[in-house]
Structure 1
Amino acid sequence: MYTEKREAPPESSALPGLAGVVGGGRMGAGIAHALLLAGSAVTLVERDEQAAAGARDRVARAVADSARRGLVTNTDEILTRLATVTSPAELRDVGLVIEAVPEDLELKLVTLRAVEEAIAPETVIASNTSSISLDTLAEALARPERLLGLHFFNPVPASKLVEVVIATVSAPDLQKHAVAWVEALGKTAVVVRNAPGFASSRLGVLLGLEAIRMVESGVASPADIDAAMTLGYGHPTGPLRLTDLVGLDVRLGIARYLESELGPRFSPPDLLVRLVEQGHLGRKTGKGFYDWSE
């Protein structure tokens, strides 16, 4: 576990000099990478030392990839600003914490409570949830007004968008600060009010579910459906390939949540349920709607 004491770098942007990320999977590592490249020092919290080491490796690979693409040259200096730890107590000095644990309501509630117990009263908490109501998450906090949503998109380094979600209870000045933070990361902010699925997941999941139903009923192959959207509508990635990248299990979980909140138009197709039960979750398992084994 990397625990070297770091000082906050000089404030050169709207971003806090010290930031925290809780959850070091693909999304959390990507968020940490973005913060590091923008100049912040980052404390990345994982559940145990093995997971923390894996998270550090993911961030280091992302930084190395940025160097190969000529985006940075000071890789060693960047990584000295990263600490991977196993306790939220290490977040006591940060100005912003971004929660990036898996899309499970109970896990997020437990995580947010632990974060709030560790941080300073003025620290802002952002959730990277892609669909769960921010008002529901805010119920876990003693000071819910400091919570908002910062929904990053996968893969974080390549994506230019961050969805800023304002809860009913969010402090009035959080929107201004959040938009400035997103811009300091070199990304574009879209601001939405709290609603199930927000804007991006609500539209994206609906398109993805209909594409899966088309595969299920034999309308066309996954590749041809995706080509129809990339070539015909200019989407950068087709809905089925994107489902593989996001993870079929993640998409299924979001669909079930949106079905419970918004009705049967978000009911997951049997094909999606069956593939998840079989362990075919997309790129991370080597197979989904496409073969990723190579």
Structure 2
Amino acid sequence: MVSSNFVDYVKIFCRSGNGGAGSAHLRREKYVPKGGPDGGDGGRGGHIVLRANKQMWTLLPLKYRKHIFAKDGGNGMKQRASGKDGADVFVDVPLGTVVKDAETAQILGEITEEGQEMILEKGGRGGLGNWHFKSATNQTPRHAQEGEEGEEHWRILEMKVLADVGLVGFPNAGKSTLLSVISAAKPEIANYAFTTLVPNLGIVAYRDHQSFVMADIPGIIEGAAEGKGLGVRFLRHIERNSALLFMIPADSDDINKEYRILLRELEKYNPELMDKKRLLAITKSDMLDDELTAAIGSEMDVDCEWMFISAMTQTGITELKDAIWKNLG
């Protein structure tokens, strides 16, 4: 099995801190035998907070940190002194992280901007000291409030790769080869299906010192939306891409049919993906002569702009970059 530092799914158990108990202390000094209530409030329990970190690209650190606990708040003290708040625990996650409840699968939030923070589990509130309960009819209350218990839940964190353009295609369509040619990324490349097992990101340089981010998504097969092949595990990464570049090799039996199958899998997974801008690149076109190129071109019947490219000979790469940039604009 290929080992990888790319982890895009973790399940963690989180428990925030309990609130500290309020104090029921009664003031007693040498010349003040009956000074009345002066018990302070309990401190708040520590929160567990998710924090966006743009330097991170994987959830790997959380793979080996399954349980996260925050500290309890301190108890209230005499002279109305409040207990110390429990220390918050900050958990750094990559941009594009989605938080779900492990039992209901409900989405609780998303981390999309640098520095963004989200309280995952709230610490319990501290209890009130006895001086809060002093009244005209009860001058010396001998009771105080207990602190609230913290929260504890299993949470699922999923990461969706943030990229400008995502490469969509069947296994062995030439996606990794294209990424390695037009960016500095070095994905594993081989002549067999499912060479790519994790998404790869590459920064593609464009004119006038501009650039865009391209994501090589592991190959989709028919039935992926129902879990076949690598299933929906990697389809979710496509949701965050601004544009989609479909890639089908020139030696495919039926390019139009393959394009429609890919489109159908995306639609079954999430109909909103149909609203994204699309391009189709017919790869490995260096295998075609002029006659075959013309024949394939005359049979094309797709609902987006298409072009012939070859990563090996660099044919059509500049035109492809121009088309992608136009779609991102």
User: If the TM-score is normalised by the length of the shorter chain, which range does it land in?
Assistant: 0.3 to 0.5
Richer in strand (by share): 2
TM-score, normalization: structure 2?
A: 0.29
Richer in helix (by share): 1
| Greater relative contact order structure (CA < 8 Å, 6+ sep) | 2
TM-score, normalization: structure 1?
A: 0.32
Kindly name which structure, 1 or 2, has the bigger radius of gyration based on alpha carbons: 2
